[in-house]
Chain A
Amino acid sequence: MSTERCAIVGIGQTKHDTAREDKSIAGLVREAAVRALDDANMDWADIDAVVLGKAPDMFEGVMMPELYLADALGATGKPLLRVHTAGSVGGSTAVVAAHHVQSGLYDKVLTVAFEKQSESNAMWALAPKIPFQPTLVAGAGGYFAPHIREYIRRAKAPDHIGIEVAVKDRVNGMKNPYAHLRIPDISFEKVAESPMLWDPIRFLECCPSSDGACAMVLTSERHATTGKNPPAWVKGTAVRSEPLGMAGRDEVNPRAGRDCAADVYAQAGITDPRGQIDLAEVYVPFSWFEPMWLENLGFAGEGEGWQLTDKGVTALDGDLPINPSGGVLSSNPIGASGMLRFAEAAMQVRGQAGEHQVDGARLALGHAYGGGSQFFAMWIVSSERP
């Protein structure tokens, strides 16, 4: 097997917000793409192919919006590929873009992911009125709350872990100029006293609904040093999927996530993720998913993920910072949320993360999941050339 090395040379994202009424959908994706191109020292004409990802089209009410966005993305006359793998799509899209480079077919690929949830009614889009399907599940929180309850029981985790994650990610988010939610007086009490929406999920333990976009320029080795910042190198990418309605499936610790992590670690030569990886940007839409994914990703043994959170290991100044950017709990433009994890991981190893920079970050994991905890996408990025 001989694949081309792939470098991340440009990264851009929008300011994420509840409703970016100052921008059209095209304007929003361009805000991120122009920043990525600028970081890469490139112009639209330099790009060979565009790979676009977003979650369900009903979030904006535009079917296959890549067609409408072809002009705004400078894609006319070029290949333009649209990926959709539910909530993991931002990550999967970056993986597809990386393969465009690793295959040796393309030198300079622009990859973009977005969601502009304010354009439509996202709650409606998630739960259309289908005659033979009950609507009582009540959105994503209602779907995932039973999984969280089962995790808490299995791991014998104390109730305050979810609150601790929420406080940590929101404190981190205050250091990220692009983050959507900014709660200056965030505190343990404030989260604990926030309304219980989908018991056991409290209001301040939930992600927001955001408008936002993320973009990256990925290149072959030949163009790796043309950007304004040193490149991040892709050391491994992996995706795994498992069926939603399968008898016996473990939604709390899904095998697809474990297999995906094992694959990406093997590619990157990682045998001890907890010891070797400097930080991780992990898709945590409800705070309890931090300890759940710590176990699924092999950072902790089964039932022990919550202890890392409890000991402060996952804090910005901890031993294994998780979501220094503030994560999905701080900004959640769904289709872009996965790519933001991938991009933030790359920003860290490029030393680009500003106030939320992890000192000495050299090896980082970007993680995304989607559907009913069934679609996973991951990459490992490094400051060192593989």
Chain B
Amino acid sequence: MPWTRKDLLGLEELNKDEIELILDTAESFKEVSTREIKKVPALRGKTVVNLFYEPSTRTRVSFEVAAKRLSADVINIAVETSSVKKGETLSDTGRNIEALKADIIVVRHNCSGAAAMLARNLTISVVNAGDGWHEHPTQALLDIFTLKEKLGRIKGLKVTIVGDIAHSRVARSNIWGLTKLGAQVTVCAPRILIPVGIEEMGAQVTEDIEDALRQADAVNVLRMQFERDTGGAFPEQLEYFKQFGITRERLEKAKKDIIVMHPGPINRGIEMSTEVADGANSVILEQVTNGIAVRMAVLFLVAQANEKTKRDENPD
């Protein structure tokens, strides 16, 4: 099936075929980064704007590298923001970027739904690089891509996600993507960090990390964002590590070749030990490499779909 969406806002709204199309496209782009001249002309003459309202290095750089390897021009806009600061509205900023004749906005925002709002107000493509607690689709896609590359399939895999599920856009996007492709997802966290109704999204819930790891083919370890702590909802850092930290001892009780993933940046000694982060089961740096291919695929697909829409609307 062809890709028809001008935007990528989340994995909830995608079907299995669309997710597989992105993964297949990413696979074909992965080779580009191994060439001596790491560039293809797929988006030559296109302008990609990275509009980041939250500090982010890796996602922003990953999108920038992806766009450049497709020969697009890239502009980075970092917006200082706080909820009280009055400035230009998000929609107005978007409309201004559209007026500059940019083709794609990659947006990172601390409010859930920000990418959707931008997409609704603009005719150019919008790619969600993380909105609040809602979704981070390209992170989940690169996680899934890495899993598939390592294990050859997604269907039937048992994947455990550990950490602050309640406030995690990575968890949500992974749950949607993995379950649509037929994997079984278990989330593991202190009860207070498990959001209401997560089971209805297709995930099983446990508070027992050993139980969660026992049958798992892979474990995706989320960053604990202790800076979010508002009034005692979060466990103590050391207590958390004791109860939920991924350690060598815990992995020894799991499947021998269990895959260990982390969206980064890692808090060593809080959500996983250094040994595990750098150990044989870790694919953390491969995730980073694969992120380029996945983001190249996403940028390429949305740009193509939008161009086709414009052609259909204005036939020569």
Q: Are these two chains actual partners, yes or no?
A: no
Contact residues of B with A, CB < 8 Å? none
Contact residues of A with B, CB < 8 Å? none
